[in-house]
Amino acid sequence: MSRSNSPLEDGVEENAPPSLESEIQEERIAARRLRIAARVQARKRETEGQHDTHHQEVTKELSRSQKQREQSRRRLNKLQSDGTELVTNIQVAVDARESQRRTEEAEAKRQRTEKLENEAKTSLEKFEDIRKKWASAKAKEIPQDLRDALNMQQRHCAQLIEEKSKIINELQQELKVQDDKYVKDLKRQAEDVDLMIERMEEQIKNLMKCYREELTQIEKAFELERRELLHSNYKKWEQTMQHRREKEMEYLTMRMKQVEDQAQQLQQLRVQDAEEYNMIKIKLETDVQILEQQLQHMKATFQLNQEKLEYNFQVLKKRDEENTITKSQQKRRITRLQDVLNNLRIKLKKQEKQFKEESHTLSEDCKRIMKQYQDMQKKMMYFASIDAKRFHEMWIMNEEEIKGLVKKALDANLIIHEQQLGMTYVRPNLPFMKSTGPIIPQHTKKKLTEVLAKQFLTAGQKITGDEEGVEESVSAGAQGESHQSKEQGQLEASYPENPDNLLPQISPKTMKKLLEIMCDECDFLVESKLLKLFSTLEKHEQSLMKLDSIFMALGVENEADVYKLADFLIKYSEQQIAENKKEDEEDGQIDEGKSQSYVSISSVEAAEGSSSMIERSTTTDLIHPNDVLKALKVYTEHYCKPREKHPLPSFINYEERDDSEDAAFWEAMANVIPESTQRVWSALETELEKYYKILTERSDLITETEGLKQQNTELRMLLHQYINSRVNAELEIPPTQVMQIDQR
């Protein structure tokens, strides 16, 4: 601002006082000094002003230090240029003076040379004059004239010389003046040099001062700026630090919280893990134990299996060997059997023919047997009616007898009540006393067969051990049966009354066997559902149930049927065997003289046959399991048809008669005297018994007292006898005394 104006001021100042260019040195110096002082003053003011405005210019584009530097630089440049100007001013002035002097000198020199030339010219003219006059002087002959001329000449010469010397003097004067001038110049130059030195020193001083000032200014500016910067930075730092501290605290608290949480979690986890670990450990340990056990077990099984397998292997090896052998055998046998097959085919043709004949004959037989069967039915009907009649009679007879007994019992009861107990007795109402004849039950007799089967089976089981108990067991079975029939008395009689009289012929053992075979073979007759149900039962019961269902299917309903069936089966088997034998014989006849293999087969068959024979011999007759079906088929053909026809209803009535009601009937008969009465009776009986016992005791005691009385008397007699004997006296201590002591 003011700085920009300064050059103007300077310029004005520099040129304003004319003294600057004046010849007087002091004046110029003074003027310059004033100017410098003014400048310094202005500068100081400026810097102070700057200082004041320093704080306001913070927001300016340039930083303070830069500004200060720029300022200082300008100022110093200015100062320096001014200073150099000041110093060189002298030089310039001297130069100017020098050039002035030179021009002056040149002028003076020119004038001088001109003057000298003029003078030389004039003097030369004069000299010529003088020389010319020398010639005229020679010409003069008059001594006075000559003397005059010589004097003239002398005067002219002297004048010339004087002129010359005058010029010389002038020049010498001038030289002196020049010398003086030179000395003056020298002095002046010395002064100038001194001044210059002074100025230079002053300049140096000034510059140094200014430099120092500026340096301090710059330093101050820098310092201030630095301080401000420091301050701002410190503030910033503080702020950020505060921020950071806060954040840190926050973070710390957060972290502590987190740590706590995590510690808790950790603890929880630890506990959980420990628990889990324990659990797992226990579990695993148990698992390990179990696995070890399993391992042991497996090892054992492995061992076992190994052994087994080894054994099996051995066996299989053996078998393989056997198989190879048997294979070869089989091959051989196949060839042989081929032969046999051929034979058998031939035989088959033969037999077919034979069977045709046989069937023919058998159909005839069948017709005949049918006829016989019809006859037999007729007979049966007859016998049935007779049996019914006899049963009726028997029933009536027994009823009468039992009625009598009831009456007797009631009478006895009456007597007991009235006489013994002294109570009034009301005769109970007995409806069955009025009815006569067998009661007609409504039941089927299904259970009968079951019971039968059971009897046989149980009996058979018992019997299997010893053959001797057969009779007894049969009788026992008979007894079981008789229990059912409630005819105790007619135990023996029941057998002959059996329609077929088959029972004695078939031993219980065979019966059992037969039943077992049937049970095994006729599974198909049993319903599949039932079979399933049976599978849970015991084998015995299972077979029982099966038999029951089989019998039902076959239509076997009573004991007789069972026996009939058994008999039929035995017969059938015998028949079959007989046929087989026949065939065998025929075969043997046909295949006589055949290969050895045939012999072996026949021998096997013979062995089979012999075994069956043996069985037969022991069990009298037994059907082959394979034939059971055929036999049963035949049996059903034979026996089921007539039953379906129901030719005799009375027979059927009889047949269907149920004696379950009979039992009740008879029970009612038996229970005419009720339980309480019976208890009364039994109590009475026991009391009477007691009474009787007491009575008998009493009678016994009476007889005993009688005996004792007799003995007493006898003993008195003996005692008397002993005491009175002499032996007593001889004894040291007579028993009499002892007796006396005892008495005492």
Partner 1 sequence: MAEFGDSVLEDLSASDQHTSFSMSRATADADKRKMRRIIAEDPDWSLAIVPYLRIICLQHIIDNFEKNPILDELPPADKVKVLEKLSTKLPISVTANLISDEGYWRRCSVERWGRRDVSYYGNSWRRMFLECHLESAIELFIPNTTDPNVILDKVPFYKNYVKKISVSQLLPPVKSSENRQKEDTLLAVGDGASEELSVSHFDFGMLLDKMTELEELHLVYGVRGCRMNFEWSLFEFTEQDCQSLAKALKSCKHLKVFRLHQSKVNDENVQTLCSSFLEHPSLRELDFSHNIIGERGARAIGKLLNSSKLEVLSLYDNKIKGHGAQAIAYALSRNENLTTLNLRLNRIGDEGGQCVANALLKNSTLINLHLGSNELTEPTANFLSRVLMQNKTLKSINLSCNRLGLDGGKQLQEGMAHNSSLVEFDLRLTEVGQESEYFISQILQRNKETAHRTPL
Applying CB under 8 A, the residues found at the interface with partner 1 are 7-8, 11-12, 15, 21, 73, 77, 85, 88-89, 92-93, 95-96, 98-99, 102-103
**Taking Cα atoms as reference points, which of 587, 543, 39, 688 lies closest to residue 339?**
587
Token pair 């002129």: residue: 163
Whole-angstrom CA distances from 487 to 443, 494, 666 are 19, 9, 11
- By beta-carbon proximity to partner 1, the closer residue of 12 and 282 is 12
In the complex with partner 1, the residue whose CB is nearer, 92 or 607, is: 92
Choice between 80 and 485, CB closer to partner 1: 80
For the bound state, the minimum distance from the C-beta of residue 52 to partner 1, rounded and expressed in Å, comes to 26
In 376-410, which positions are buried (b, 16+ CB within 10 angstroms) versus exposed (e)? ebeebeeebeebbeeeeeebeebbeebbeebeebb
User: Which three-class secondary structure state does DSSP give residue 592?
Assistant: coil
Identity of the residue numbered 730 = E
- Between 98 and 527, name the residue whose CB sits nearer to partner 1: 98
For residues 36 and 22, give the distance between their C-alpha atoms in angstroms, rounded to a whole number. Answer: 18
Q: Find out whether 512 and 686 touch, Cβ atoms under 8 Å.
A: no
**Which residue bears the tokens 């010339």?**
160
Which amino acid, one-letter code, is at 16?
A
Q: How far is the CB of 34 from partner 1 (least distance, A)?
A: 18
What b/e sequence results for 18-50 when a residue is b if at least 16 CB atoms lie within 10 Å of its CB, and e otherwise?
eeeeeeeeeebbebbeebbeebeeebeebbeeb
CB of 100 to partner 1, least distance (A): 9
Distances (CA, A) of 157 to 112, 138, 152: 23, 17, 8
Q: Taking the complex as a whole, how short is the minimal distance between the CB of residue 67 and partner 1, in angstroms?
A: 15
The structure tokens listed for 119 are 């003078």
**Shortest Å, Cβ 187 to partner 1:** 15
d(CA 623, CA 615): 10
3-state class (DSSP) for residue 466: coil
d(CA 400, CA 432): 11
- Helix crossing, 508-521 with 539-554: angle to 10°? 80
Nearer to partner 1, 15 or 436 (CB): 15
Shortest distance (Å) from residue 95 CB to partner 1: 4
DSSP string, 117-173: HHHHHHHHHHHHHHHHHHHHHHH---HHHHHHHHHHHHHHHHHHHHHHHHHHHHHHH
Tokens representing residue 81 in the block? 């240029």
Closer CB to partner 1, 17 or 609, in the complex: 17
Smallest distance, Å, CB 7 to partner 1?
Answer: 6
Q: Minimum distance from CB of 11 to partner 1 (Å)?
A: 4
How near is the Cβ of 74 to partner 1 at its closest, in Å?
9
Question: Looking at beta carbons only, is 193 or 291 nearer to partner 1?
Answer: 193
**Which among 93, 115, 120 has a CA at the least distance from the CA of 29?**
93
Which CB atom, from 102 or from 235, has the smaller least distance to partner 1? 102
Cβ closest to partner 1, residue 35 vs residue 462: 35
Return the structure tokens found at 548: 């029951």
Contact 476, 588 (CB under 8 A): no
Q: How far is the CB of 225 from partner 1 (least distance, A)?
A: 20
Q: Are the beta carbons of 474 and 505 closer than 8 angstroms?
A: no
We find the least distance from the C-beta atom of residue 61 to partner 1, in angstroms, to be 15
Please give the structure tokens belonging to residue 622.
């037994």
Measured from the CB atom, the residue of 95 and 310 that comes closer to partner 1 is: 95
Report, in Å, the least distance between residue 147 CB and partner 1: 45
Q: Where do runs of H (alpha helix) occur along 522-645?
A: 528-534, 539-554, 559-590, 596-619, 625-645
Identity of the residue, 11 or 428, whose beta carbon is nearer to partner 1 in the bound complex: 11
Spell out the residues 6+ positions from residue 402 whose beta carbon is closer than 8 angstroms to its own: 666, 669
3-state secondary structure of 488: coil
Quick one: 475 exposed, middle or buried, by C-beta within 10 A (0-12, 13-18, 19+)? middle
Residues across the chain = 744
Side-chain half-sphere exposure of 159, counting CA atoms within 13 A: 15
Nearer to partner 1, 33 or 73 (CB): 73
Question: Minimal distance in Å, beta carbon 229 to partner 1?
Answer: 23
Nearer to partner 1, 85 or 500 (CB): 85
